Amino acid sequence: MNKISLNILKEIKMKRILIFATGLMLIGLTSAVLAQPDPAHLKQVAQGIIESLNSGDSEQRGRFLKKYYANADSASAIERWQGHLERFSQDLGKIKIQNIDVSNPAQLQILIRTENPRTISQWQNLEIYMDSERPEKFFSMGLSPGRDPTVTLPDRPLTTKEIAKYVSDFIDDLVARDVFSGAVSLAKDGKPFFTGAYGKANLRWGIDNKLNTKFNLGSMNKMFTGVAICQLVSQGKLSFDDLIIRYLPDYANKEVAGKVTVHHLLTHTSGMGSYWVAMSNMDWTALRSVKDYADLAVNDPLEFEPGERFGYSNSGPLVLGLIIEAISGMNYHDYIRKHVTGPAGMINTDCYNVDDVIPNLAQGYYWNDETNAYRSNIFEHSARGSAAGGGFSTVEDLQRFARSLYDGTLLPADMLEIYTTGKVDFGPGDRYAYLISDAIWEGHRTVGHNGGAPGINADLKIFTDIGFTVTAMSNVDQAANAITTYAARLITHKRPVPN
């Protein structure tokens, strides 16, 4: 099963969690899990977390954390986890346990059913990761869409017609509960076998979403930045091992420039953090270029030594954008249009200014619990997309991107392999390549990326060995990930792994 890491935003004005790449809300993943704790103890941990979430009592949650959390001696860590559990409790409502699986003692799985009608997937996997040094303690937990035990699939691979029917029914349920608005495209060998558009691109004017509606990509722009860097390497214009300072000699942070390589930036192992905190404390409407965003975090110290570990960064790809500009002599956005989206035929993909009049552009919406209604996200994201994310595209264009990757349009075969092959672990069972993920679903390889923020959610999964491509985009939170996760499970169900 694909499990996607999630970054918790630091204290910025966005109240919701930004999704890095699909499905799993994963908190605090910092170390390998190797030990074998007692199964009976694991069940105690599982029952304790469910009881604390259902209680609605912060003191009971605090007692649970002090007893079972690996870093319970840190007051700030306990306070942070109190916030995490409060969000889980609010999002899920009352929880009923369907099953507790302790077959993997390092990673127990609790299948739960939520009673909150606005939960994207009412069946959820609550996954708890036990600490390698103290197996009686957990160090992380997360949520991913669970398998609905009421849905019985045949004991064989599903046909494309069957997959389409199951996905259609799943989406219809989301739409009926008013938790999905967007577009979906499933393809086999480059040919779509299911497409659909749902909900409104603009609630104020009642404008319907269409297959060619432009939705915000969130972090998915990083894939295009990765392709651009790999193109330049193929042309002999830079090396993955080069330091930042070679191409940006005037970069203000000399420590970063002298330690961080292109490889570090591409794999989120640079130690750089995020520019969001700085952006939230200023008039972000003036930020229009890659340099505008990169300057926000240029003086931030490294959070860890480059290459030491994976740490998802939105500042790192901005530096790659500056390197692209320095080598090519072109504005980053112009380079991507000329060398990535243009050759791929992605006519509806670009980083549009928030105040430009762009036809068929979806407005994003997030659910406001205080007003019990959707609210526009116009003040919750950037004025223009960048090398780190925030551009716009369509499900049709993302299918074109997938085809262009594998038909040689964008990269030669040897560089495509380098671009898409995982270099570093970023979550249980997943690896991160060069600004694109490399994961396994039931034995089948998939590459892609996703993105999310308030009113933004999009995902692309390319099954490289069996020819399926799944993409969903939404102008509300989270549901696109749930759809691609569900479709991926259907696609890989009982499907033999090619030799």
pLDDT tens track for 40-51 = 888 888 899 899
212 & 129 share domain = no
Q: How far apart are CA 428 and CA 354, in angstroms?
A: 37
Same-domain check for residues 48 and 71: yes
Q: What total of structural domains would you count in the chain? A: 2
C-alpha span between 452 and 91 (Å, rounded): 17
**Same structural domain for residues 138 and 212?**
no
89 and 205 fall within a common domain:
no
Indicate whether 16 belongs to any domain: no
- Position 14 scores a pLDDT of 32
Tell me whether residue 1 is in a domain: no
Within this chain, do residues 220 and 135 fall inside the same structural domain, yes or no? no
The span from the CA of 353 to the CA of 123, in Å, is 38
Mean confidence (pLDDT) of the chain: 87
In a domain, 205, yes or no: yes
206 and 133 together in one domain: no
Domain boundary (94, 111, 145) is at 145
| DSSP character at residue 389 | B
Residue 300 lies in a domain: yes
Local confidence band at 20 (pLDDT 50, 70, 90 cut-offs): very low
DSSP 220: G
Between residues 441 and 381, the one the model is more confident about: 441
pTM above 0.75, yes or no: yes
Residue 19 within a domain: no
Residue 15, in any domain of the structure:
no
434 and 369: one domain?
Answer: yes
Whether 90 and 186 map to the same domain: the answer is: no
Containing structural domain, residue 298: 153-499
Q: What is the mean pLDDT of residues 59-71?
A: 91
Q: What is the pLDDT of residue 283?
A: 63
Residue 3 lies in a domain: no
Q: What is the mean pLDDT of residues 305-319?
A: 91
Q: Which of 93, 114, 145 is the last residue of a domain?
A: 145
In a domain, 203, yes or no: yes
Same domain, 126 and 183: no
* CATH number of the domain to which 359 belongs: 3.40.710.10
Domain closes at, from 145, 175, 206: 145
Quickly list H helices, 283-353.
290-296, 316-328, 332-336
Give backbone dihedrals phi and psi of 289, rounded to 5 degrees, phi first. -110, 165
- What is the b/e burial string over 149-175, where b = at least 16 CB atoms within 10 angstroms of the residue's CB? eeeeeeeebbebeebbebbeebbeebb
How far CA 235 is from CA of 228, 229, 232, 415, 493, in Å, comes to 11, 10, 5, 11, 41
Dump pLDDT digits (tens) for 230-276. Answer: 999 999 999 999 999 999 999 989 999 999 999 999 999 999 887 65
**Predicted local confidence at residue 288, as pLDDT:** 65
In this predicted structure, the answer to whether residue 370 has a pLDDT above a threshold of 90 is no
In terms of domains, do 113 and 235 share one?
no
**What does the alpha-carbon distance between residue 408 and residue 386 come to, in Å, rounded to a whole number?**
25
pLDDT at 360: 96
> pLDDT digits over 177-201, tens only?
999 999 999 999 999 999 999 999 9
174 and 134 belong to one structural domain: no
- Same domain, yes or no, for 190 and 319? yes
Q: What pLDDT, on a 0 to 100 scale, did the predictor assign at position 45? A: 87
For 83-109, how does the pLDDT look when each residue is reduced to its tens digit (9 = 90+)? 888 888 888 889 999 999 888 888 888
